Amino acid sequence: MKKMTALISVLALLTGLTAFPASAETAVPVDVDEAVYALLLDSYGCDDNEDGVVTEEEFRSVLSLRMNPCGFDDLSWMAGMESLTSLILEEGTLSDSAAQSLLQVPQIDSIQMYNITLSSIDFLREMELNYCRMQECTPFSDSELLSIMRVEDVTVQKGFAAKGGVFPEGLFSTNDLMLTIGDTDIACLDTYGTVQSPSSNSIFYGKEVGETTFTLSIYGREEFTGKITVEDFTPESIPLHETAAEAPQILDAIHHGGGIGTALLKDGTMYSLNDGALQLEAENVESFHYAYIYDETGKNSHRDIVLYRDGSITVDGKPLQCDQEFVYAQNGSCIAANGDLYEIREENGEFYADYLYSGFGSYNSKVGQCFFSDEGEVMFKAYMPQEGGGYRWEVFPMGITDVISAQGGYFVDKNHILWEITREKDAAPVAAQIAENVECVGIYSYEEYPIASILYITTDGRAMLPSTHKEVTLCEIQPEEEKVMHYLDAANFSVWYTEDGKMMHDPSIGHDYHLSLDNVLTIDCRGVRTGITDVAQFVDNDYAGYGETVYAYFLRTDGSLWCYSSETSSYSEIPFTTPEPLAGDANADGAVNVADVVLLQKYLLGKTKLTPVQAENAELCKDGRLDGFDLVWLKKMLLEP
């Protein structure tokens, strides 16, 4: 009876208090004119809970409003919509008085107008918008459009980014715009990892202290010029270790990624990153990779594959069902100590190693599902349907030997014969000779097609398409232009949300971090700007709760791992030590506190995973299960004096 009572208590704890929305009978409509209220009821997003009533709270929370302006001579009521930043007007006439009343709604920074009649656009100049688009509206001359555009100079600290240029964007076609920077040694566009679209404004990155200019050209004419000022910034210079250590391997991981998809492997120990600390994932690791693993239905999923120093393998933390000792694991393939080749397969949630072949020679990244035997024959591995149901791995000798060139399903042998391997769905592969006098096969660019493709080159130098044997003209190989790098790395942190579901990350302000060419890491997190010297590589970031605290992980040039915490706006080293087991320490940070309760609740609700060490610490009842009773016991521990 006590156990049942405890279970009920646990369920109550997990459920928590739920706030039920007020019914339409008790909800109070916002106090606006009848015509305005009718518009709000008919507009998407204004009645957020769709109860037929637009309340004052819903009115203040509207982000974007779409409307026909006909019949409205005064739009100043929008001033009460505190969150409104985007206004879309369509199909009607915007009266002069309505246009002037928009000057009383300063929070609007974007206006789009479609098929709108209006007599003047002077009000747009006074609104100082970031974006304005007019499509099929009353036509205005280029000079009138240029008259409402304004230049915003840029002031930015070295190593950071800021927005500037000519506003509002959207008045001219992007194809007619060109934004250039005078001295790119002082500032550049903040475009790492992205393609910069033509725009009248942009985000600028400060490279060196000094001043330069930006220029906006429209239709090839220089129309606007502004100033970029890069101010000095002094990052923290925390001493390095006197003796450098070998840096850990940074790995893409799913199951072992701690929720952010990144794991670290150092000295045979695998860790994940969570809440500003290392979490032990596995020990005595020889190698790690993740690959697509097929199940019994022929479908595949990404899985983490860990090869241990004792020759055993786990897949997503589960032991591989095989009595072999393995010395190699990559791309779902495993090689046993005796040289036999196996392939990992999933069945009913368990993982098995299917024997494939004795006499394995080598893999070649250019030939897909093929490998070479130790005698040099091309072997094709395929996941084949079985007569009794399900799928199994099989190997097919293709009769192709002495390969001198290969690409995809094409192979050239020493006799200069080109072979092609094809396979219909669920059928055995077939090899066929498709050309003679072939020198090599590979990926080339040719003039008739803008994208590089597989071609074969004959012994007399002609380039041919293997599918049609049509001759094409190879592009001249141009010397590669030296790529100008403005910084080593830059990106935004993961998007996070507050408890009420509002997004807090604003991608329009630039990248959240930059790693400069001289190894300075700068971080701009919610307007707090910090930096640190001697950084070799940015690793990843995560956040606690709904983003109350953001953590950014990076490696310094001495091989050490460090973390930035937005809670303290400071940097600290994370040592590679294995924490001792501590009962109740569900997050394995060396202490038992409320954070462990929060993590265990999330685990029991299926919202997160625990590492083996975390699960061991959280399993307090010692009954071999991790459930609500362990949560009750953990809370009892915290309440005891």
Q: Is the peptide bond before 29 cis (omega within 30 degrees of 0)?
A: no
Do residues 212 and 260 both lie within one domain?
A: no
Separation between Cα atoms, residue 632 and residue 641, nearest integer Å: 16
Collapsed DSSP state (helix, strand, coil) of residue 301 = strand
pTM for the structure as a whole? 0.77
Proportion of the chain above pLDDT 70, given as a percent: 91
Omega before residue 168 within 30° of 0, cis: yes
- pLDDT of res. 10: 40
pLDDT of residue 587: 79
Instruction: Looking at the structure, tell me whether residues 606 and 566 fall in a common domain.
Output: no
Q: How many CB atoms are located within 10 Å of the residue 224 CB? A: 17
347 & 271 share domain:
yes
Asked whether residue 129 falls in the same domain as residue 162, the answer is no
Helices (H), 88-139: 96-101, 122-127
pLDDT reading at 23 higher than 60: no
Report the alpha-carbon distance of residue 590 to residue 239 in Å, rounded: 26
Residues 567 and 605 both lie in one domain? no
- The model's pLDDT over 279-310, given as tens digits with 9 standing for 90+, comes to 888 888 999 998 999 998 889 999 999 999 99
Q: Would you say residue 240 has pLDDT above 70? A: yes
- Min mean pLDDT across 501-510, 533-542, 631-640 is at 501-510
Same domain, 100 and 59: yes
CA nearest to 516, candidates 279, 205, 303, 155: 205
- Mean pLDDT: which of 247-251, 293-297, 583-587 is highest? 247-251
Q: Do the domain assignments include residue 333?
A: yes
Please indicate, yes or no, if residue 418 is contained in any of the structural domains.
Answer: no
Per the CB < 8 A criterion, the answer to whether 148 and 122 are in contact is yes
Residues in the chain: 641
* Residue 541 domain-assigned (yes or no): yes
More confident residue, 477 or 549: 549
Strand bridging mode 300-308 / 313-315:
antiparallel
Block residue for tokens 């061991």: 616
Domain assignment of residue 558, yes or no: yes
* Neighbour count for residue 311 (Cβ, 10 Å): 14
Helix (H) or strand (E) holding 160: none
Q: What is the pLDDT of residue 16?
A: 42
Query: Average pLDDT, stretch 10-18?
Result: 41
Question: 130 and 61 in one domain?
Answer: yes
pLDDT at res. 15: 43
- Both 124 and 187 in one domain: the answer is no
pLDDT digits (tens, 9 = 90+) for 332-381: 999 999 999 999 999 999 999 999 999 999 999 899 889 999 999 999 99
Give the strand pairing for 131-135 and 110-117. Answer: parallel
Domain with residue 213: its CATH number is 2.60.40.1080
In percent, the amount of the chain with pLDDT more than 90 equals: 67
Q: What pLDDT, on a 0 to 100 scale, did the predictor assign at position 525?
A: 87
Residue 131 sits in the same domain as residue 156? no
> Across the chain, which distance is largest between two alpha carbons, in Å?
89
| Confidence at residue 25, expressed as pLDDT on a 0 to 100 scale | 60
The domain of 635 spans 594-639
* 599 and 556 inside one domain: no
Indicate the DSSP class of residue 354.
E
Last residue of a domain, one of 358, 378, 404: 358
Dig out the tokens for 415 from the structure: 């006799």
Q: Work out the pLDDT band at 383, boundaries 50, 70, 90.
A: very high
- The answer as to whether 604 is a domain residue is yes
Q: Residue 11 pLDDT > 80, yes or no?
A: no
- Indicate the average pLDDT of the chain: 88
Among residues 358, 380, 406, which one ends one of the domains? 358
In a domain, 321, yes or no: yes
Choose the final residue of a domain: 358, 379, 404.
358
For 333-359, b/e burial (b = at least 16 CB within 10 A) is: bbbbeeebbbbbbbeeeebbbbebbee
> What tens digit of pLDDT does each residue of 418-468 get?
999 999 999 999 999 999 999 999 999 998 888 889 999 999 999 999 999
For residue 392, being part of any structural domain is answered with no
Each residue's pLDDT tens digit, 128-151: 999 999 999 999 999 999 999 999
Based on the fold, state whether residues 112 and 163 are members of the same structural domain.
Answer: no
pLDDT band for 13, please (50, 70, 90 cuts): very low
Q: How many domains does the chain have?
A: 5
Angle at 489 between CA 485 and CA 493, to 5 degrees: 145
Q: Is 617 helix (H, G, I), strand (E, B) or coil?
A: helix
> 324 and 283 in one domain?
yes
Res 192: pLDDT: 66
In a domain, 586, yes or no: no
